[in-house]
Amino acid sequence: MKAGFEMWDYLVFIAYAILILGVGLWVSRDKKGHQKNAEDYFLASKSLPWWAIGTSLIAANISAEQFIGMSGSGFALGIAIASYEWMAALTLIIVGKYFLPIFIEKGLYTIPEFVEKRFSTNLKTILAIFWLSLYIFVNLTSVLFLGGLAIETIMGVDMVYAIVGLALFAAAYSLYGGLSAVAWTDVIQVVFLVLGGLITTYLALNTVSGGEGMLAGFSKIWEAAPEKFHMILEESNDNYINLPGIWVLVGGLWVANLYYWGFNQYIIQRTLAAKSLKESQKGILLAAFLKLIIPLIVVVPGIAAYVIVNDPSIMANLGDVGLLNIPSTEQADKAYPWLLQFLPTGLKGVAFAALAAAIVSSLASMLNSTSTIFTMDIYKQYINKNADDKTTVNVGRISGAIALLIAVIIAPLLNGLDQVFQYIQEFTGMLSPGILAIFLLGLFWKKTTNNAAIWGAVLSFPIALALKFIPIAGLEPWMHQMGITTLLTMLIIMSLSHIQNKGKDDSKGIEITKNLFKTTPLFNIGSIVICILLLVLYCLFW
């Protein structure tokens, strides 16, 4: 095996798998005399506590893309990639304070359901089909492919078998148990995810320091590669087009973050399943704090790997095993799998379980949300409006299984494409500005009309295409294009709404009351602490 797995590593990983499946199936069981209904299956009976919500948000978000991709970015460009994680912490606070109160007050099952209540069934169906397509053909497929690639790299398992194995693992408990199984197993997944990540970080930094520990290792990589510790990239940097300097903080990354954390079904669904709004907001706060430490376990190891491979004395100490699959700037995604081979027996199993936890939890979340949208927004709307609870739950399970099967068939085909994830990211980035514009104006501008929102959805994509393919000086970074597309789409929606309603409020406009966004002292204090920590981090790594 490429990672040198031994018996104890396999035993640790098997124990992890049995634990996840056991807990998932146990919480999925039907209570005596109670038939699982739609609220049980899709919203975990609206009973999730704050700590389950917070950990489940992180488990749904962190996948192989972070462990493999962000470690690779840490190797190639450094700490600047951590903006995705640290800005997400601030975005979560905004979502918790300004979006969740409206969503929970309306008793939503799905994000498209909000579109129906605020605008129309037609627009809801358009967006539901868009999200189903995105989840099946982009999200599920890419997570399966990248997960399969990671397992193939680390363990030497053929990619097709790895993809099938991951799919069966996620399906074994998520399709049967619904959101309850996903959320409660996510609590365990996050423990493995953080523990395994910290072990790998410690090993990498300890290796750099020659056995002197984690802090000494961090000091060494800071001294050896100071260019890797700048959050704000200069225009002369080769990676500026992906992380355009100060505009990362004030530009298009806000579009990606607000869309992802605020209006993405497989993320927001666990917050809709909370016992109460206050419980949901506490969960959001926990996720925001966890986001602050994620770069420690996914970015720092990549920087450490960069220092190791460029220091002949450290490489000499690693021996022959260090010469296998050495990462380079051109193959930076090898950094994390390369580090795993130096873990001692037993800990390799823990680190691999962490990677598997990240992949499987994301797959389970996407499956659950795909089945929720299809069942609640397509099946019950157009196929069987009077479906009973048993039928609704069964349709959710069947639709999730079909979505997973499609993704399993497509995932191996991505292996023949170059830079597939860059294309996927840019493709999503061309669609998300229109969605964000519709939701922001639908939530906070009562004059927004249905027709204007539909036109905004239709026109935002051509605007994004034009900005991408028509050369305009200064707008080369895709983040700039996302920001401009969002602003232009909002301008179109506002102009058409004003023409249609002649300045009057729309009949479905949301009434914003004084107390709607009132939050608890705990949430306020926690938010202030997070903002201060973010300010310190950006000042430290400016």
- What residues does 48 pair with on adjacent strands? 274
Contact present, 148 and 412 (Cβ < 8 Å): yes
pLDDT, position 1 = 39
Residue 212: CB atoms within 10 Å? 13
Q: How much of the chain exceeds pLDDT 90, in percent?
A: 28
pLDDT, position 174 = 79
Contact present, 302 and 66 (Cβ < 8 Å): no
Phi first, then psi: give them for residue 132, nearest 5 degrees.
-60, -45
d(CA 443, CA 99): 8
pLDDT, position 352 = 80
pLDDT, position 161 = 92
List, as one string, the DSSP characters of 126-176: HHHHHHHHHIIIIIIHHHHHHHHHHHHHHH---HHHHHHHHHHHHHHHHHH
In this structure, which amino acid lies at residue 405? L
Per-residue pLDDT of 443-502, as tens digits, reads 999 999 999 999 998 899 899 989 888 878 778 888 888 999 999 999 999 999 999 888
Q: Which residue numbers in the chain have pLDDT < 70?
A: 1-4, 30-38, 40, 42-45, 319-325, 416-426
pLDDT, position 175 = 80
pLDDT, position 322 = 58
211: which 2 tokens? Answer: 């056995």
Radius of gyration of the chain (CA): 23
Q: For 25-57, b where at least 16 C-beta lie within 10 A, e where not — what string?
A: eebbeeeeeeebebbbbbbbbbebebebbbbbb
pLDDT, position 418 = 47
pLDDT, position 2 = 47
Angle at 37 (CA atoms; ends 32, 42), nearest 5 degrees: 120
